[in-house]
Structure 1
Amino acid sequence: MIVVVANNLPPAVRGRMKLWFVEPRANVYVSGVKDAVANHVVDYLLSHCSAEAGGIIFKSLPCPPGYEIRTIGLPDKKLCEISGLQLVIEKILESN
């Protein structure tokens, strides 16, 4: 499975994404394509989207932790890695 959440994909990329994905909401794409096709899609997105696209790609993996997170440009939310586990930072708490 692969999920792409983007801020602003180029029109040509959006049209191409509709070949493989369902778009349940604007700029949210979900697909259950095989791993080889998922790798092709990720490579396509990374090579055809500029930094302004600002997206996050969630791709399932057959090994722990079961997923991989990749970014396109500068997404709204930041990523961190803790003990090999990729996480999306929702809110940063300031220490007093």
Structure 2
Amino acid sequence: MKLWFVEARPNVFVSGLKDSVAKTVVEYLYQHCPPESGVMIFRSLPSPPGYEIRTIGPTKKQLAEVSGLQLVIETLKNS
């Protein structure tokens, strides 16, 4: 995974590949990663909104969709 994607956070991978290669890698992951892996994958797209977010199994972060945009829900920590 780390050869083809940037791991922004543990188990959060961001693609920097061409669309066809990234799609192939994501499909491979869907076939071979167990549901308990909790992987979140961001992949760039050539059309709006310019990205997609896919998950494998339950993740620590929730996804929301607002006006067609996929967003990751972050909680603010008081310091």
TM-score category of the 2 structures, normalised to the smaller one: 0.7 to 0.9
Q: Tell whether the 8 Å contact from 2:13 to 2:40 is kept in structure 1 after alignment.
A: no
**1:67 Cα deviation after fit:** 0.5
Who is 2:74 aligned against? Answer: 90
**1:32 Cα deviation after fit:** 2.4
Higher relative contact order (CA 8 A, sep 6+): 1
Unaligned runs of 5+ in 2: none
Unaligned runs of 5+ in 1: 1-16, 92-96
CA distance in 2 between counterparts of 1:88 and 1:24 reads 13
Which runs of structure 2 are paired with 1:59-74 in the superposition (5 Å)?
59-74=43-58
AA matched with 1:41: V
Aligned-residue identity in percent:
68
CA distance in 1 between counterparts of 2:42 and 2:9 reads 16
Over the aligned positions, Cα root-mean-square deviation in angstroms equals 2.5
TM, length-normalised to structure 1: 0.65
Larger radius of gyration: 1
TM, length-normalised to structure 2: 0.77
Which runs of structure 2 are paired with 1:21-40 in the superposition (5 Å)?
21=5, 27=11, 29-40=13-24
AA matched with 2:34: S
CA distance in 1 between counterparts of 2:60 and 2:7 reads 20
CA distance in 1 between counterparts of 2:47 and 2:31 reads 26
